[in-house]
Structure 1
Amino acid sequence: MAARIVAAAAVLTLAAGASGAGRLREVERLPTYRKLVALTFDGGGDTANGTARILKTLRQRRVPATFFLAGRWIRLHPRLTRAIGRRYPIGDHTYDHADQTGLSSAEIRSDVRRGALWIRVETGRNPRPLFRFPYGARDERTIGVVNSMGYASVRWSLDTWGWMGTSEGQSVGSVVRRVADHLEPGAIVLMHVGVARDGSLLDAEALPRVISLARARGYRFVALDRFVHAPR
């Protein structure tokens, strides 16, 4: 069946500030009714313990994915960054992984540029237009700033909560159940490459089951670079 494009459900266009100039671009889901799902993995803290396992699973199961890596994470894990960049698109996640709503517009631009620089240093690739705000913290001003730099703000429609770890009551089973309960066409799934504070690797451990679940329901995995475009 031919794909049906549903821009309103996938791309939020918000009035831009008091000036009313332009529109703000933020993507929360894929613009389709087809059974497509995008797995995304954030690397913002210092840890990367789940990364090798995630990459092995993705490679063995032949699953495309998208990564959002902070510049600080990249500096700590250059070899992993290069391994990711050889196979998957990498989006900008700032350099310092700070809450951007607490920064000035100039500070945001600097943080985003530094993050992009380190992606280019280690992979030779330009992350534009893929950008994700640390912690998902953003407002109209901060979205407008990154849009003006050629980035679309990429959020998610399904958070596995694997980052909470077992100390917050989560488990591999709960990660899989959240996906089972909330998976729908065009979903953008948020997972993480590092460990939770308690040292657990729930997203990495749950990933094979998540892939099997989605495929059993007839879903196909896609990377975001096919669907996310720079603001106009």
Structure 2
Amino acid sequence: MRSILLFLLSGLAINGFSQQDSTGLPRTTKSYFTGFFERVPAQKKGAEFVELVKTTPDSMIHVEIRHVSLDQIVLDAFFDKKEPVGIWYYHLNSGGKILNYDFPLVYGSAAPDSIEKALFIPDSLAIINYLMSVPEKEYLAPEFATGDADLAGFMQNNLVFPYYSMVNQETGRVLVGLQIDEAGNISKIAVENGVNTLLDKEAMRIMKKIRFKSGARYKGQPVRLYYRLYISFYL
């Protein structure tokens, strides 16, 4: 599973993220360790990695982890307290990856209200996966515009297991809801049942990244879709 999912800080570092600096000045800490995920403390001379954590008085945090011998950044991350924010760089086995967390984390329901509901797929259709067409029920699913054959392929190519969650062995399933309109545009993305801030934000990021060429059709007519998906993070 590690090759599929990758991505947080040690428990001590993460807990320290939320601490307010009473001096009114930025605070910088530096630590050395071996083993990217094991994070065994080490002296500077024998360390594989060095981590710099810069915290501002308003609890904004910038984290940089660098591979010492290669002089290469392997993680460049930003937090508002414990929530991932901004644009991240994360170096995976497959190469560098840019992760966009520049959006608010939203909790709640993405379900349509009673006025809108008539524009959506009827509940009575009872299809297990609305991202797969079911011709015998006259249902055509939205068509992916990402180059992936299906949702599983999209997840395989894009989902990232938060680094600090891997370090802390944090796992679980995040339930995300969203709406897809008649043209295939996505809106109202929300975490309907979360695990923690790190996993919830990654689950929301992946859903904001998905694109469709077209929306769903039922009996030849374009319809809106309320879609819910469990995104699993397991080691």
Q: TM-score range by the shorter chain?
A: under 0.3
Structure scoring higher RCO (CA < 8 A, sep ≥ 6) equals 1
Q: Which has the higher helix share?
A: 1
* TM-score (ref. length: structure 1): 0.25
* TM-score (ref. length: structure 2): 0.24
Larger radius of gyration: 2
